[in-house]
Amino acid sequence: MPIKKETVLSTLKALRVASQKRNFAQSLDFTMNFKGLDFKKPENRIDVSVKLPYGTGKASGSKSLVFASDKTFADQLKSKAAKVIMLEDIPSIKGKDVEQLIRDYDVFLAEGPAMLAVAKHLGQQLAPKGRMPRLIQPNLKTFEEEATKSSSLSRISNKKGKFMPLVHVLIGKENDLDDHLAENIVAVYNSLVATLPGKEQNIKSVQVKFTMSAPMKITDKPQGTSQKGGALK
């Protein structure tokens, strides 16, 4: 069954009651544990981008990669984008380096001349992964507009490391409204389920936790932070 927003809201309420107050706004993390999938097989690994209804509080542009040709614009981006690659450097990017860029960055942007070079030299690798850059004008205003739009995107992947049968997702902050947090969780859950061959049959459990709290399983009747795993009800 699809996850119910009401179920998430009741779990968040119980988590707040059970969690000790801290002197900072904790992050809320969502964990989905999988079953019946061999993550050693590339086709089973998780790598999706989810558009969240509400932002997570992470810095806009924190995982943005910009292909630029204008040196003045590139200098302006140094404190804004996570990485800037100049037009003249694009042809020398090797295949393995493209794969690393795909793993490391969520948002790909490019200004006009650089976009043409990206399409020519990197398009065969970027396009199938949905990472072809979005076109922007060489000024900070257009970059920041795109970065703001992209701040609601959440990249979810277990392709790194030892291919653990789970994913962790930043959902928001402790001081966000429960309604907003719940909608983000539902969006993540539904997007992940859509990628699984067995849909809900591949889900072992789903949990939420604040930075310093114990995890709490999302169920219709949360019992406290001592719960461990189990099927979503």
Closest CA relative to residue 126, chosen from 152, 100, 157: 100
How far is it between the farthest Cα atoms of the chain? 59
DSSP codes, 32-53: EEE-S--TTSGGGS-EEEEE-S
| % residues pLDDT > 70 (the chain) | 85
Check residue 79 and report its DSSP letter. T
Q: Which amino acid is at 76?
A: Q
Q: How do the domains of the chain map onto residue ranges?
A: 5-58+153-217, 64-150
Interstrand relation of 27-34 and 47-51 (parallel, antiparallel or unpaired):
unpaired
Spatial distance between the Cα atoms of 159 and 167, rounded to a whole number of angstroms: 10
Spatial distance between the Cα atoms of 101 and 110, rounded to a whole number of angstroms: 14
Alpha-helical segments (H) within 49-94: 71-77
Spatial distance between the Cα atoms of 186 and 165, rounded to a whole number of angstroms: 20
Query: 107 forms bridges with which residues in the sheet?
Result: 64
Query: 49 forms bridges with which residues in the sheet?
Result: 155
What is the CATH code of the structural domain delimited by 64-150? Answer: 3.40.50.790
Spatial distance between the Cα atoms of 196 and 198, rounded to a whole number of angstroms: 5
Predicted confidence at residue 57, as pLDDT, reads: 60
pLDDT digits (tens, 9 = 90+) for 65-106: 999 999 999 999 988 899 999 999 999 999 999 988 987 887
pLDDT digits (tens, 9 = 90+) for 188-209: 999 999 989 999 999 999 999 9
Predicted confidence at residue 4, as pLDDT, reads: 92
pLDDT higher than 90, residue 168: no
State the fold for domain 5-58+153-217: Ribulose 1,5 Bisphosphate Carboxylase/Oxygenase (3.30.190)
* pLDDT, average across residues 53-69: 74
* pLDDT, average across residues 150-178: 79
**CA 68, 70, 71: angle at the middle one, nearest 5?**
100
Predicted confidence at residue 233, as pLDDT, reads: 35
**Three-class SS of residue 30?**
strand
- Cβ pair 68, 114 in contact under 8 A: yes
Spatial distance between the Cα atoms of 223 and 188, rounded to a whole number of angstroms: 23
Higher pLDDT, 214 or 57: 214
* pLDDT, average across residues 110-132: 88
5-58+153-217 and 64-150 share one fold: no
Closest CA relative to residue 56, chosen from 185, 159, 144, 146: 185
Band (pLDDT 50/70/90 cuts) for residue 152 is low
